[in-house]
Structure 1
Amino acid sequence: MRVVHVIDHLGAGGAQRLVADLAPRQKQRGHIVTVVCLRHPTQTGRVLETAGVPVHYLRLGRTDPRQTIDLPALLHKESPDIVHTHLTLSCLLGRIAAVMVGVEAVVVHDHEADAEIFITPAPLLALKRLIEPYLPPRGVRYIVISHSALAYACQVRHLPESNLFLVPNGVDIAYLERGRVSSKAAREQIGLPVDVPLIGYAGRIAPEKGIDLLLEALSRLSGVHAAIAGHGPLANEMQAYARKLGVAERAHFLGHLDDIRPLLWACDVYVQPSRREAFGLAAAEASALGLPVVASRIGGLRDVVLDKVTGMLFQPDNVDELASSLEILVENVEYARMLGSAGQHYVCQYFTIDEVLDRIDKVYRNILR
């Protein structure tokens, strides 16, 4: 099959990670795969190109009207069997462009689930919900990444169940394990203390990610340290908040890491304190490496973490519950190890990248029928 992936940008994020994992493997399976990025080149794009996947960059801003001309022209040139779209703008423009050039098979990959209520102006959201189930082309299929997103798509967006497919994000377990070193060596590699209980987090430092909750919980845990990897609009504010709470010496802000594996190898517990989370790929990756995960009871995290089986879930914004869960795992090493082992088995059974590839191939075959 000739497949063109269309994505808003190739910066940091779960959607971008999926495309970077998916496209080269689809090529290995014999598909002819191209990626179209609406924005400018990034490191993820260069990784794709190194893997032999052509990447076309429109190099245009989010509101630039030339997107509606350049994207159809590219699709016409590539003549794909399937247009596979990712993220909000690409899902709209990619669908329009496919109709313009006569491509009937479009896969709309919803990486954001109910986050549309936060990122879409109310009048546009109402219009979208009203007309989306009836928009062309006839061959459209929707991929959602969690059970909560599936329920939202059916009950709120009123999309036809026959066109909906649940495909979680995939974890590249072989990559996560490649070159693995001991926790002590990993801590030394990224400049973390080697003889303390360590909680890890990797992701954006933004309001919806709940880093403030992590810092407040940390202030209640004696002797425990936290390693926080990532950039975001609240990076400086959260470092200031750590100083205010008196945990600056125990909260290690690492900035952006091109490779988060040393962080995961270094940690005793992984935490995802999000207020909003479509899936939680970093939590799944931590589980794949045998770490117990503490996460908010929201969105796709409820698929990734089975409460008191592979980790512990807490109510969003409940600092008391978060701190208590972290304290239990830090103090009870055997219990933490048991949860981590169960999580590793669970992720390896249901969330591998090969399993995701198989499911997406089934969606492609369904749509082409």
Structure 2
Amino acid sequence: MRILLITTHLNHGGIASYVVSLAKGLKERKHNVIVASSGGTLVEVLKKYEIAHEKIDITTKSELSPKVLFSMAKLFNPLRDNDIQIVHAQTRVTQVLSFWIDKIYGIPQVSTCHGFFKPRLSRIKFPCWGRKVIAISEAVKTHLIQDLKVRSENIELVYNGLDARQFPQYSSEQIQESKKWIGLKPGAVIGNIARLSSVKGQSYLIEAMSEVTKRFPDAQLLFVGDGKIKEELLAKVHELGLSKNVIFIPSIQDTSSVLALMDVFVMCSLAEGLGLSIMEAEAMGLPVVATNVGGIPELVKDNQTGILVGPQDSASIAKAIISLLEDRQSARQLGVNAQKNIRENFTLGNMITQTEKVYESVIT
């Protein structure tokens, strides 16, 4: 098949990682894949795999922005020259763009819903989901049906998948060298990989850390990511006297190398479609503490593959982290179970196969 994947940008994040993984997997199965976006750090990864990228100026959240029309005009030649059969959108504004491509050029549109959205009137009256919608979790599927009034027969559940080859084992020497480079001292490492945003709940993890350090004074919290609330989080760290226990580093492409440094992975989101970084942590065999919201319980089975806690509950987060640091054997077993779950149920191969079936259903 000849497929155009459209997203807003290709900077580090869940959607961009999904697009790159999907493009790579489809290309390996001999499909002709083009990615269109406003650009970003992951464009270099596409080049590495010889996947074409069309740069469009779609850096807007406005559905009525003239950038939508300009982008459609910019894509006319790639659509025609490559005889594109499917346009697959990832964000609201690219859904609107793909909707018009479908209506004007007759190229079927598919969209992936990666999370939860306010049921604004424009989303319900002018949905732009395309001929099929991919939901990345049962929770997202329910949200589409109940809140956004999408017909269930138009929705396909396709879990995100990982390529196990991207999550190797690291030697103790490599781990110690990386810890030294980042500035981590001896002691347990609790990690979080996410954009720094209120919806990701990092402030509750910092509050929890003030309790964790009472039991484990040498414990360190490593935040990996960028975002608008970094200064706010830094102020909270200083206020709680945790400056020696909390480290921030920017987003990185190779998440496995930093996950290898962690003893416990924590995700404190207030809402989450599924949780790519949770999947990555589980793929590395890490015990996970995560909030019981959105699609997370489909990834983390309480006391089987991790520990679930309530959102905005710093005390419960701290209790869960402390329990894992106190009982390393149980923590290791949770990690083993989590890794097995990912390797059996959340593979990139499964994701590609199911996505191919969605494409086939709209072009036949």
Q: 1:337 aligned to 2:332?
A: yes
Q: Which amino acid in 2 is paired with 1:337? A: R
Residues 15-64 of structure 1: CA deviation (Å, up to 9, x unaligned): 11011111122112111111111x2x322112102211110001354255
Distance, in Å, in 2 between the alignment partners of 1:158 and 1:70 is 28
Could you report, residue by residue, the CA deviation over 1:320-348 in whole angstroms, capped at 9, with x for unpaired residues? 11111111111110110111110000011
Q: What is the 5 A alignment of 1:230-245?
A: 230-245=225-240
* Residue equivalent to 2:136: 145
State which of 131, 154, 160 in structure 2 corresponds to 1:169: 160
SS of match in other structure, 2:254: coil
Per-residue CA deviations over 1:84-118 (Å, capped at 9, x if unaligned) read 11111101111112211111x21111112x2x11x
1:110 pairs with 105, 109, 113, which one?
113
Report what 1:96 is aligned to: 100
Matched, 1:27 2:18: no
Q: Which residue of 1 aligns with 2:310?
A: 315
- 1:212 to 2:203 alignment: yes
- My pick for the range that moved more, 273-282 or 329-338, is 273-282
Contact 1:199/1:225, CA 8 A, preserved across alignment: yes
Q: For 1:192-244, what per-residue CA distance to the aligned partner results, in whole angstroms no more than 9, with x for missing partners?
A: 11x31110111111111111111100000132211111111111221121011
Superposed displacement of residue 354, structure 1: 1.2
Aligned pairs, number: 352
Equivalents in 2 of 1:213, 1:153: separation in Å? 28
1:188 to 177, 180, 185: 180
Matched residue, 1:65: 66
Q: 8 Å contact 1:279–1:304 — kept in the other structure?
A: yes
Within 1, Cα distance between the matches of 2:251 and 2:87? Answer: 32
Aligned in 2, Cα 1:221/1:61: closer, same or farther, shift over 3 Å?
Answer: closer
Residue in structure 2 matching 1:296, options 284, 291, 299: 291
* Contact in 2 for aligned 1:190/1:263 (Cα 8 Å): no
The answer to whether the 8 Å contact 2:25/2:348 transfers is no
Preserved CA contact (<8 Å) 2:16 2:42: yes
Distance 1:131 1:94, change over 3 A: closer
Counterpart in 1 of 2:261? 266
| C-alpha distance in structure 1 between counterparts of 2:179 and 2:142, whole Å | 41
1:55 to 32, 41, 53: 53
Cα distance, 1:261 vs. partner? 2.0
| TM-score, normalization by structure 2 | 0.92
Letter in 1 for 2:55: Y
Could you tell me how far apart the structure 2 residues matched to 1:136 and 1:315 are? 32
Preserved contact between residue 190 and residue 262 of structure 1 (Cα < 8 Å): no
Q: Provide the residue aligned with 1:86 in structure 2.
A: 90
- Could you tell me which runs of 5 or more consecutive residues in structure 1 were left unpaired when the two chains were aligned: none
Q: Distance in 2 between matches of 1:208 and 1:298?
A: 11
Structure 1 residue aligned with 2:345: 350
Tell whether the 8 Å contact from 2:9 to 2:59 is kept in structure 1 after alignment.
Answer: no
- CA deviation profile, 1:59-89 (whole Å, cap 9, x unmatched): 3542551431432524344331111111111
SS at match of 1:361: helix
Could you say if the C-alpha distance between residues 54 and 340 of structure 1 is closer, same or farther in structure 2, counting changes exceeding 3 Å?
A: same
Structure 1 residues 136 and 58: alpha-carbon distance in aligned structure 2, compared to 1, 3 A threshold: closer
Give, in whole Å, the separation in 2 of the partners of 1:161 and 1:199: 40
1:7 corresponds to which letter in structure 2?
T
Residue pair 1:226, 1:252 contacting (<8 A) in 2 also? yes
- Distance in 2, matches of 1:200 and 1:184, equals 16
Q: For the residues of structure 1 that align with 2:88 and 2:57, how far apart are their CA atoms?
A: 19
1:257 to 246, 249, 252: 252
Contact kept, 8 Å, 1:329 with 1:335, in 2: the verdict is yes
Q: Which moved more, 1:310-319 or 1:234-243?
A: 234-243
CA shift, 1:130, in A, is: 3.4
CA-CA distance at 1:252 after TM superposition: 1.1
Distance change (3 Å), C-alpha of 1:5 and 1:60: closer
Structure 2 contact 18–160 (Cα < 8 Å) conserved = yes
For residues 152-188 of structure 1, what are the alpha-carbon distances to aligned partners after superposition, in whole Å with 9 as ceiling and x for unaligned?
Answer: 11222222222211112222221121x7233434423
TM-score (norm: length of structure 1): 0.91
User: Quick one: structure 1 residues 66 and 333, their matched pair in 2 at CA, closer, same or farther if it must change by over 3 Å?
Assistant: closer
Distance 1:78 1:6 in 2: 15
> Structure 2: which 5+ runs fail to align?
none
Residue type matched to 2:180 in 1? E
Q: Is the 8 A contact 2:324 2:330 kept in 1?
A: yes
Q: Is the 8 A contact 2:279 2:342 kept in 1?
A: yes
Cα deviation code 1:274-325 (max 9, x no counterpart): 1122221111100111101000110121111111110001110011111111
CA contact (8 A) 2:114 2:140 kept: no
